[in-house]
Amino acid sequence: NAGVTQTPKFQVLKTGQSMTLQCAQDMNHEYMSWYRQDPGMGLRLIHYSVGAGITDQGEVPNGYNVSRSTTEDFPLRLLSAAPSQTSVYFCASSYSFASRNTEAFFGQGTRLTVV
Amino acid sequence: TQLLEQSPQFLSIQEGENLTVYCNSSSVFSSLQWYRQEPGEGPVLLVTVVTGGEVKKLKRLTFQFGDARKDSSLHITAAQTGDTGLYLCAGAKRGSTLGRLYFGRGTQLTVWP
């Protein structure tokens, strides 16, 4: 069981470039989310999805887009990278109506540097 | 404003000492979880507490959910160097989107030999 697979693990971008962080899960979870983690700030929710075709904003959505065309995949797009988006990004999946378990499973993270 | 306040933010202790980490809120949660995160990895679930007043033990770790389900604590007895890591509490809030968790800012624990 792969769990949550996140790619890439490291990325350096120039200001203004765009890129997509990939996230896939094989646990049939309805709920998927993206967080960014900065020192002393904990995990801050960027966007989340409760199922294919349904997404919503979290606490810090500006500068990011998401889509959910399948249950398994939840990519995060940076539209025009800025140095303030330098962070570690985590994708997580949790909750299925079948299990009603709220445990969140996290990917290994993407360390993004914007120069 | 953080929905869950964790304290302390940093904790540096010697092996063998005991410690307690707190997670407080003014909101009621249907469940509260504790995660541990090691460098370069994502957080991993340690425990979920669901019932007010519930106490769960995981070897030397004791987790408690407050009676009013607004707070939780994590107590470690005789800390070991392997306990070093970032400890995060996370709550599932009543009336919120199913699956959504609210995270505290974390407690960075360092245990010295």
Give the tens place of pLDDT for each residue, B26-76: 999 989 999 999 999 999 999 999 999 999 999 999 999 999 999 999 999
Question: Parallel, antiparallel, or unpaired: how do β-strands A76-78 and A31-38 relate?
Answer: unpaired
Say whether A92 and B105 touch across the interface (CB within 8 A).
no
Categorize the per-residue pLDDT at A97 as very low, low, confident or very high, splitting at 50, 70 and 90. Answer: low
Say whether A31 and B97 touch across the interface (CB within 8 A).
yes
For chain A, the residues whose C-beta falls within 8 A of a C-beta of chain B are: 4, 29-31, 33, 35, 40-43, 45, 48, 50, 56, 90, 92, 94-95, 97, 102-104, 106-109
Six token digits for residue B47? 């425990």
Q: Read off the pLDDT of each residue in A38-43 and give the average, rounded to a whole number.
A: 88
Say whether A103 and B45 touch across the interface (CB within 8 A).
yes
- Select from B9, B42, B106 the Cβ nearest to the Cβ of A107: B42
- Select from A42, A45, A103 the Cβ nearest to the Cβ of B106: A42
Q: What is the pLDDT of residue A101?
A: 72
Query: Could you tell me the CA-to-CA distances from B55 to B49, B64, B86, B108 in Å, in that order?
Result: 8, 4, 21, 23
Q: Read off the pLDDT of each residue in A81-93 and give the average, rounded to a whole number.
A: 97
Residues 6+ apart with CB under 8 A from B6: A42, B21, B22, B23, B24, B87, B88, B89, B104, B105, B106, B107
Residue A27 has pLDDT above 70, yes or no: yes
Q: Do the beta carbons of residue A75 and residue A22 sit within 8 Å?
A: yes
Query: What one-character DSSP code corresponds to residue B53?
Result: T
In single-letter form, the type of residue at position A9 comes to K
- Select from A30, A42, A95 the Cβ nearest to the Cβ of B103: A42
Distance CA A52, CA A68 (A): 5
A8 upstream amide cis, omega within 30 of 0: yes
Distance CA B50, CA A105 (A): 19
Task: Select the more confidently predicted residue: B89 or A42.
Answer: B89
What string of DSSP letters covers B5-38?
EEE-SEEEEETT--EEEEEE-SS-EEEEEEEEE-
Q: What is the pLDDT of residue A1?
A: 61
3-class secondary-structure state, position A47: strand
Query: What one-character DSSP code corresponds to residue A73?
Result: B
Distance CA A53, CA B89 (A): 30
Span of A34-43, A96-105, B89-98 with lowest mean pLDDT: A96-105
d(CA A40, nearest CA chain B) in Å:
6
Six token digits for residue A23? 């996230």
Six token digits for residue A9? 């693990």
Task: Select the more confidently predicted residue: A77 or B99.
Answer: A77
For chain B, the residues whose C-beta falls within 8 A of a C-beta of chain A are: 2, 6, 9, 31, 33, 35, 40-45, 48, 88, 90, 92, 97-101, 103-106
Categorize the per-residue pLDDT at A82 as very low, low, confident or very high, splitting at 50, 70 and 90. Answer: very high
pLDDT in tens, A54-64: 999 999 999 99
